Amino acid sequence: MTTITKNKATDQFLENIAYFSNFQELRNESLAFLKNTGLPHSKEEEYKFTQISKKIEQNISTFLAADKISISAELIKSNLFEGFEGDVVVFNNGLFIEELSSISSPGYTLSKLSDSNSELLGSVAKIENDPFVALNNLSFEDGIHIKTEKGKKVEKPILFLYFNQANQGQIIQPRVLIEVAENSEVTFIENTVSQDEETYFSNTVVEVKVAQNAHAYYYRLQNENRKAISVTNFATDIHRYATFTSVALQLQADMLRNNLTLNLLDKGCVGNMYGLYLLNGKTHVDNHTNVDHTKPNSDSNELYKGILTDSARGVFNGKIFVRQDAQKTNAFQQNNNILLSENAIINTKPQLEIWADDVKCSHGCTTGQLDEEALFYLQARGIGKEQARGLLLYAVAGEVLEQIAYEPFKAYCIQLVEDRLGSSF
């Protein structure tokens, strides 16, 4: 392997990586890109606050795919939340396992990427957006390709269950491609289950195309072990009159980096991004969102909220790009943070680039502590201080959780959040 001067870690790891013979064009292109750029180092603007390459270097031994672990039907069952009814797609260290999955709902098909050979692969999540996309392109083993049927609603949600365990600090690289066909509707739920308390590095790429007048919802829970390192590139192409809604809940890990990109490609698109991060210990969570308004009359709504304590760190970066053509755009962004301890840190940055002149764009970010006046108000009505704190913190979180339209998952998340607010905060 040639020397990569930009990043020592990349050089070392590229020596020791799994190469596959399929998707050659994508893999070659990605390799060339990685050789040229390396993984992001700490001085790069986009990764200034999240030194994930260093983290990987220190904790991950190789970029070889983690060995498969044993997953039983009981294990899967025990990780379904109460009230869930729908299909379950199981991943074993990032690799889709057909035998353990249940795919029976009408309205969509699921195939392995190695079988579908879709030209769409790699076209939504672009290499130049993030070197980790290139890394996944280069060495994912296989992935899934979901296609909904035109005009059909997949009535029950599709649950992605990721079981992760990589004892030797190896890499887990899920790859998902979703095509939501014209006039169809579908809901996805994603949950990652850490099978032990040891380090792993997962590098996920999800690409979603939401076709004309289709509606897609993606709910994601990241509540992993305290050594988990994870990068996700989640990119969406949204077509005319289509809607895409993301709700992301982050509770625990070592370091999480999520790049969420919404490309509003036509008129009348709606992109919604909601996030909640409740962090304690040393958990570090970085949400980089990017919405690109390219055509007139599209809307984007974004609300990310964080509550941080101990030595947790949060990073929020919200890019809104409104191109010259995208008149009558409505783009709203809000990021609110509450810091409960002196050592908790938040770095928040709205980044708006507006080239059209007839648009409504707003953004705001706040960082503060718990509202003492509100706390006193509740106490003055006879509510105990601890419970009053819980009520107020939950009020912050609730606004995001309310965006989950699938009730059993909402109830599950609410329970997780309430447990957290009742104990660790």
Partner 1 sequence: MLTIKNLHASIEGTPILKGINLEVKPGEVHAIMGPNGSGKSTLASVLAGREEYEVTEGEVSFKGKNLLDLSPEDRAREGVFLAFQYPVEIPGVSSTNFLRTAVNQVREYRGLESLDAVKFLSIMKEKMKLVEIDQKLLSRSLNEGFSGGEKKRNEIFQMAMLEPTLSILDETDSGLDIDALRIVSNGVNQLKTSENATIVVTHYQRLLDYIVPDFVHVLYNGRIVKSGTKELALELEEKGYDWIKEEADAASV
Please report how close the Cβ of residue 387 comes to partner 1 at its closest, in angstroms: 7
Per-residue binder mask for partner 1 (CB under 8 A), 314-353, x = binder: ----------------------------------------
Please report how close the Cβ of residue 374 comes to partner 1 at its closest, in angstroms: 5
Position 269 contacts partner 1 (CB under 8 A): no
Among 44, 46, 182, 399, contact with partner 1 (rule: CB under 8 A): 399
Question: Torsion over CA of 367, 373, 379 and 383, rounded to 10 degrees?
Answer: -40
CA distance 222 to 192: 6
Find the length of the chain.
425
Please report how close the Cβ of residue 283 comes to partner 1 at its closest, in angstroms: 23
Please report how close the Cβ of residue 381 comes to partner 1 at its closest, in angstroms: 4
Per-residue binder mask for partner 1 (CB under 8 A), 351-390, x = binder: --------------------xxxx-xxxxxxxxxx-xx--
Position 395 contacts partner 1 (CB under 8 A): yes
Nearest CB to partner 1, comparing residues 355 and 377: 377
Per-residue binder mask for partner 1 (CB under 8 A), 3-22, x = binder: --------------------
DSSP 390: H
CA distance 187 to 344: 34
Nearest CB to partner 1, comparing residues 380 and 407: 380
Question: Which residue intervals of 38-171 are DSSP H helices?
Answer: 52-59, 73-78, 113-116, 131-139
CA distance 265 to 296: 9
CA distance 292 to 111: 30
Rounded to the nearest 10 degrees, the angle between the axes of helix 131-139 and helix 24-37 is: 140
Please report how close the Cβ of residue 307 comes to partner 1 at its closest, in angstroms: 12
Rounded to the nearest 10 degrees, the angle between the axes of helix 52-59 and helix 8-15 is: 50
Please report how close the Cβ of residue 272 comes to partner 1 at its closest, in angstroms: 18
CB 89 within 8 Å of CB 110: yes
CB 327 within 8 Å of CB 295: no
Per-residue binder mask for partner 1 (CB under 8 A), 108-137, x = binder: ------------------------------
- Give the distance from CA 204 to its chain's centroid: 9
CA proximity to 364, closest of 333, 409, 394 = 333
Among 296, 398, 408, 422, contact with partner 1 (rule: CB under 8 A): 398
Element (H, E) at 182: none
Nearest CB to partner 1, comparing residues 74 and 380: 380
Please report how close the Cβ of residue 397 comes to partner 1 at its closest, in angstroms: 8
Binding site for partner 1 (CB under 8 A): 371-374, 376-385, 387-388, 391-392, 394-396, 398-399
